[in-house]
Structure 1
């Protein structure tokens, strides 16, 4: 029996939007890492070290989720899709492969996928989990910046188990890269709109000591609901953004970012000493 290729194996998961989002996330990260690798031998020698940490900070929102946020079968599909796509892009990780191996068995036991998937289980495991991948020869193309979020949306953003809230002011271009501003609040759960009523905008401290309004356009903030479970819509059509009157004027219209650069932005903006 001929083993399916990456696309054929992923199609058998019957989770097209999940696969598309993971694929675009990996393309975004690899494109950046391989560009930097041309000038940095350490990155070139360990692409996985540049790609996996930010990827997992985002997708752990699913992989580590409880049943209230993501079903068991969805977590299994995510692990399997992640392992196959990493193999496609020349990256192997033992822990992810092990989890995907168990996920395949669990999906088969639950009869969650087709008979064809069950019949080709051994081929899929052998080809994508137990065979070293081929290192990529060229960087993948950057995905588009399409978004389904709209002005007036309030969203929750999860990072390392903490939840932040952000207001969508507009899109940077028509239906692309929403421009967000964070509320000055951190939660251990997805907040409801009532919990944000009295929260002001969170600013960013600049090198000159000033604390200014911070608007950020976020490429890759695309589907609603977010297949990674990182962005959750709190409420749509909210007319009033968080109060930013206590902050200095912003620098430019907005900062240009994506779903991975946003991790560092949040780390900086919400660090313990960021506004001291």
Structure 2
């Protein structure tokens, strides 16, 4: 009997991790398939966009130092990513190879049960089978977050680290303001003392207050290790007295668009 995607995900015995990955893949697949022009694009093109966006976040696990992220956790992440991506009708040779290697590593460590071990060949066959994109787009998930006002959060983008303060939570999204600091090493709360708010630039070159409703920032702690709690209960965010007030209260974005913007 052929094994199904959900069967494999259940065998990983990592419900929070699977929920986070599946939600991220569905979110990226939805937005890639939403524009009218998506109907004329090849599934492979859509898939390449989806996978690139998902990996902007989950590479924080896949490319992490083994000292920081347990190898078995990284292997479960690689396999769950490949399965969730394949379930949405996409595939990537490098991601599939990483998942197959993860299966071997998990079995060698006897990390999962006998069913997983016995069905190794079936799981590999599923991952290497042609991916078929579902006729329907994934549904839009209800916004929610476990992060709270007063949290100070470190955010990893590739090999750079940023930080922001959560002013409040509105309609399931943290409203955040960034500290004007970025560095190669993870930030600590002590390093943010006295750091001003990072502003945006208007057309005339003046700096204005820059705040975001950051959708998709859900679980705390973050299973992808992209977002890390640096402090909590901090009533006062970064000093923004030097920034001009903008017309809007905040810009609406999500963790994937914000990550791409910070890469520029």
The count of residues paired between Structure 1 and Structure 2 equals 264
Q: How does 1:210-221 map to 2 (within 5 A)?
A: 210-221=206-217
Show the counterpart of 2:28: 29
| 5+ long unaligned stretches in structure 1 | 269-276
1:196 is the counterpart of 2:192: yes
Work out the CA distance in 2 between the residues paired with 1:237 and 1:131. Answer: 49
Shift in Å, 1:135: 2.1
Work out the CA distance in 1 between the residues paired with 2:41 and 2:242. Answer: 43
Work out the CA distance in 1 between the residues paired with 2:16 and 2:43. Answer: 30
Show the counterpart of 2:229: 233
Q: TM-score, normalised by structure 1?
A: 0.91
1:113 is the counterpart of 2:109: no
Which of residues 163, 166, 178 in structure 2 aligns to 1:165? 163
Deviates more, 1:151-160 or 1:259-268: 259-268
Q: How does 1:28-67 map to 2 (within 5 A)?
A: 28-36=27-35, 38=37, 41-42=40-41, 46-67=45-66
CA contact (8 A) 1:216 1:256 kept: yes
Q: How does 1:7-22 map to 2 (within 5 A)?
A: 7-22=6-21
Shift in Å, 1:261: 1.3
Shift in Å, 1:35: 1.2
Shift in Å, 1:146: 0.7
Work out the CA distance in 2 between the residues paired with 1:105 and 1:45. Answer: 27
Shift in Å, 1:126: 0.6
Q: TM-score, normalised by structure 2?
A: 0.95
Work out the CA distance in 2 between the residues paired with 1:251 and 1:50. Answer: 33
User: Following TM superposition, where does structure 1 have runs of at least 4 consecutive aligned residues deviating by more than 3 angstroms?
Assistant: 37-45
Work out the CA distance in 2 between the residues paired with 1:201 and 1:16. Answer: 37
Show the counterpart of 1:100: 99
Q: Name the CA shift for 1:37/1:17 in 2 (closer, same or farther; >3 Å).
A: farther
Which of residues 149, 165, 185 in structure 1 aligns to 2:147? 149
Work out the CA distance in 1 between the residues paired with 2:208 and 2:157. Answer: 23
CA RMSD of aligned residues (A): 1.5
Q: Name the CA shift for 1:267/1:105 in 2 (closer, same or farther; >3 Å).
A: closer
CA contact (8 A) 2:90 2:133 kept: yes
Q: Name the CA shift for 1:40/1:117 in 2 (closer, same or farther; >3 Å).
A: closer
SS at 1:138 equivalent: coil
Deviates more, 1:222-231 or 1:249-258: 249-258
Work out the CA distance in 2 between the residues paired with 1:102 and 1:8. Answer: 19
Shift in Å, 1:22: 0.9
Shift in Å, 1:48: 1.6
Q: Name the CA shift for 1:49/1:162 in 2 (closer, same or farther; >3 Å).
A: same
CA contact (8 A) 1:34 1:44 kept: no
Shift in Å, 1:151: 0.6
